[in-house]
Structure 1
Amino acid sequence: MPQASERYEARYLIETPLDPEAVAGIMAGEQSCGTFIRVQGETDALRDRARAAIIGVEELEPAAAPSLPNAWLDRKAIGGPWRRARVTLSFPVANVGANLATLAATVAGNLYDLGEVTGLRLESLRLPWSFRRRFPLPAQGIAGTRRLTGVPAGVMVGSIIKPNVGLSAAETGALVGQLCAAGLDFIKDDEIAADPDHAPLAERIPAVMAAVRRHRDRTGKAVMVAFNITDETDAMRRHADLVAREEGTCVMASLNWCGFSAIETLRRSTDLVIHGHRNGYGAISRHPMLGISFQAYQTLWRLAGVDHMHVHGLQGKFAQEDAEVVASARDCAAPLTDGTDDRVLPAFSSGQWAGTAPATHAAVGHTDLLFMAGGGIMAHPDGPAAGVASIRQAWAAVAAGRPLDVAAREHAELARALAFFGGARG
């Protein structure tokens, strides 16, 4: 059991027209032992034991206008200046215990509704090892994914299938067979295709895995397929069991919509790789003065036991700046605490193709990653196999320190990708 004195830390960016030091005290009280007035039985000793502590308040440049509306301040006729600060709080582990949902409610709960702030964002979460060890570790993580895909080193290359366009289970199995033959390491379902009427998982999993096994028997290569089993908890467990019986190695879940409890239950019931899809994350992250940064977000989901985390892609189709994508990938590839390898595999996707390989490697600096391309593979003018080849050729060129246009002189697939997709970077 953890010592009563053990604590974890959360850092916030806040905006307020009040004194940031005073607001930090309100935050600490609200999320630990306090309310707006002392209640019966609330002794000084109890407060000392349970209260969150202020570790630091660093004031920043003020804002010209409030980031968010605030009826509480309006009622009190309190206006600017709108002061911004970074606030670091320390919370007693004993207040939470090994309860992920309550941990999340503590560091990212009613704070967002405080009347004293016009902006609040959870930026980071730091845990002591003794607390982290009370939650599940990844069942497979980076090392297990490499073992299961047969890729001991280098980038793992993946793609996405879209059964939601109306493919039947049999048609999806045939497509997976083609993608296996194209040379992929990893194939995943789309996040909006889980258990549709036209291709239910009870039919789709056996059809897909039959294609995977045929490819394995011919080539020795076992391609990893992430079946989207997003659903209520009992259905997720049932479908994970079916994947395991069919010799599959991975399932996928839409983290934000399943919730912590469902993912924790799934983790404890299977040793399959859990591919964590973060769709919906933009709703809690895109505003710079609201929500949760990826460092804190992935910390919470890693406590649930996921093995992979989506980070989007460099130069991709989504709104995130490249710097945010890079920081997210680095967060995934770093242990949460000293003393354990609980790293998870960063999964790059969205607008990726051979031409984004150099920027990705230059920014991330390693190849412990999953590089997924949809159009960059499926839309290659010479077909999916050429698309996969072009990506592998691009990453080989990066590893050798060669510009892509130079490597393309020796590789027709890469040359065609550069000409067709455009925007290559040497």
Structure 2
Amino acid sequence: MINERVMATYLIETPYTLEHAAAVMAGEQSTGTFVSVPGETAELKETYGAQVVSITELEPVHQPTLPGAKRLDTEQSGVYRRGEVVLSFPYHNFGPSIPNLLATVAGNLYELQEFSGLRLIDLKLPEVFMEKYLGPQFGIEGTRRLTKVYERPLIGTIIKPSIGLSLEDLRVLVLSLAQSGIDFIKDDELNANPPYAPLEARVKVVMEEIERVADKTGKKVMYAFNITGDIDELRENHDTVVKAGGNCVMVGINSIGYAGVAYLRNYSQVPIHGHRNQWGAMTRCPLLGMDFRVYQKLCRLAGVDHLHTNGINSKFYESNASVIRSVEECLTPMFGDDTVLPVLSSGQWAGSAIESYKTMKTKDLIHLAGGGIMAHPSGIEAGVNSMKQGWEAAMNGFSLEDYAKTHSELAHAIEKFSHGK
């Protein structure tokens, strides 16, 4: 393993030369500090030091993106250089550990005064990480096997209202959803184990209705129970779901951390639905944080089976191009067959299927619609059918309007949602 290395690519902005900034990055995150110290030998640096692999200069700017950068007196005033920098780190500096990997590739770099912008945009890991981290257990094929949905995306929804439903109101809603022919239901990320409706009680109510419908129809809905909590709660919460016959658990990845996901993956008997709430704080500034390309690799390595990507024309800030790239990245293998199932959500309805399929060119998705199903003018079942019809139109090359001529649920969805929803 002495020759194994991690390659990290950064977008940087600096008032210094790119060469100087890259050297500071490499030193700060391996063998160096702001001044030479005893023991910092040439041999030590050769074995444990990070290396600058490449520097690609980009167009400079004249205003700093982030505050706090300081410049050398010799530097030209008013110019902030941008570039892509690739650093190489010895694997033996941190070993097979996502937490310690992150301390290296995304640690104090963001705080260095040499930078007015710094973003981790790619990460290439050696396969030795797979000796510890298990990756997705179910992924795309396993999720399809459990839901028995193969020829189209899984159609799903989110329990709404997010907070405040009594157990009996939840029971009624889940029964209606399960009877509608829906494939997938998830808890909202805001609702995990609240005192007014504890997880154990919610699991009992939900699974009673799901099993009741499955006994009649043969179709068992996949329900992602939000088991997010402290690390010592994860196993008990998972076991509560599994003992009740549940077939999926959900966690807020950024709440429990990659190590929490990996801990859950070690014993999980059902797919892990990864929610990325808080992700915006890590990525919304284009010269800070990290790209989704990096994030999904770490989530995948830790062991999620499904991962949220936002959706086309959503209510959030993210561009459609960014969403499309995120889906592509989830479907691009890292180490063999380790892809994860992308989850489209936010402001989605039946009509979203047309552009989603045209741009993403895949049916390997979970397509979630909250209001797009719940607020359908003809009811929940019609809302679910309209989503399926939207995908039928998309995958068979029909326009939404033409397909709606012979599919009333889709027609009513267009009337309700196509003009500002």
Q: How much does 1:77 deviate?
A: 9.2
Q: How much does 1:272 deviate?
A: 1.6
| Residues 163 and 172, structure 1, Cα contact 8 Å, conserved in 2 | no
| Residues 118 and 287, structure 2, Cα contact 8 Å, conserved in 1 | yes
CA distance in 2, matches of 1:268, 1:83: 45
Structure 1 partner of 2:405:
409
CA distance in 1, matches of 2:383, 2:192: 26
Q: How much does 1:117 deviate?
A: 0.5
- Please, which moves more after superposition, 162-171 or 3-12? 162-171
Structure 1 partner of 2:340:
344
- Counterpart of 1:312 (choices 310, 313, 318) is 310
CA distance in 1, matches of 2:375, 2:204: 27
Structure 2 partner of 1:121:
119
* Structure 1 residues 365 and 71: CA distance shift in structure 2, 3 A: closer
Q: How much does 1:152 deviate?
A: 2.1
Secondary structure at the residue paired with 1:27?
A: helix
What runs of 5+ residues in structure 2 fail to find an aligned partner? Answer: none
Structure 2 partner of 1:375:
371
What runs of 5+ residues in structure 1 fail to find an aligned partner? Answer: none
- 1:203 equivalenced with 2:192 (yes/no): no
Secondary structure at the residue paired with 1:174?
A: helix
Spell out, residue by residue over 1:12-34, the C-alpha distance to the aligned partner (whole angstroms, 9 max, x if none).
Answer: 00000111011111111111121
Secondary structure at the residue paired with 2:59?
A: coil
- 1:363 equivalenced with 2:373 (yes/no): no
| Residues 164 and 193, structure 1, Cα contact 8 Å, conserved in 2 | yes
Q: How much does 1:98 deviate?
A: 1.2
Structure 2 partner of 1:246:
244
Spell out, residue by residue over 1:99-145, the C-alpha distance to the aligned partner (whole angstroms, 9 max, x if none).
Answer: 11111121111000011000000111111223344312211111111
Q: How much does 1:177 deviate?
A: 1.2
CA distance in 2, matches of 1:253, 1:134: 21
1:5-404 matches, within 5 Å, as 5-70=3-68, 72-73=70-71, 79-162=77-160, 164-337=162-335, 340-404=336-400
| Residues 15 and 75, structure 2, Cα contact 8 Å, conserved in 1 | no
| Residues 69 and 114, structure 2, Cα contact 8 Å, conserved in 1 | no
Secondary structure at the residue paired with 2:202?
A: helix
CA distance in 2, matches of 1:323, 1:201: 37
- Could you list the runs of 4 or more consecutive aligned residues of structure 1 that deviate by over 6 angstroms after TM superposition? 74-78
Spell out, residue by residue over 1:153-193, the C-alpha distance to the aligned partner (whole angstroms, 9 max, x if none).
Answer: 31100000036431122321221111011111100000101
Q: TM-score w.r.t. structure 1 length?
A: 0.95
Spell out, residue by residue over 1:247-306, the C-alpha distance to the aligned partner (whole angstroms, 9 max, x if none).
Answer: 111111111111122211111121221111001111111111111110011111112111
* Structure 1 residues 75 and 197: CA distance shift in structure 2, 3 A: farther
Kindly tell me the number of residue pairs found equivalent between the two proteins. Answer: 420
CA distance in 1, matches of 2:89, 2:72: 31
* Structure 1 residues 117 and 71: CA distance shift in structure 2, 3 A: closer
CA distance in 2, matches of 1:250, 1:12: 35
Secondary structure at the residue paired with 1:248?
A: coil
Aligned-residue sequence identity (percent) comes to 47
CA distance in 2, matches of 1:423, 1:54: 52
* Structure 1 residues 61 and 137: CA distance shift in structure 2, 3 A: same
Spell out, residue by residue over 1:334-367, the C-alpha distance to the aligned partner (whole angstroms, 9 max, x if none).
Answer: 1123xx1110010000000011111100111010
Q: Which amino acid aligns with 1:92?
A: P
* Structure 1 residues 206 and 293: CA distance shift in structure 2, 3 A: same
Q: How much does 1:39 deviate?
A: 2.0
CA distance in 1, matches of 2:227, 2:115: 39
Q: TM-score w.r.t. structure 2 length?
A: 0.97
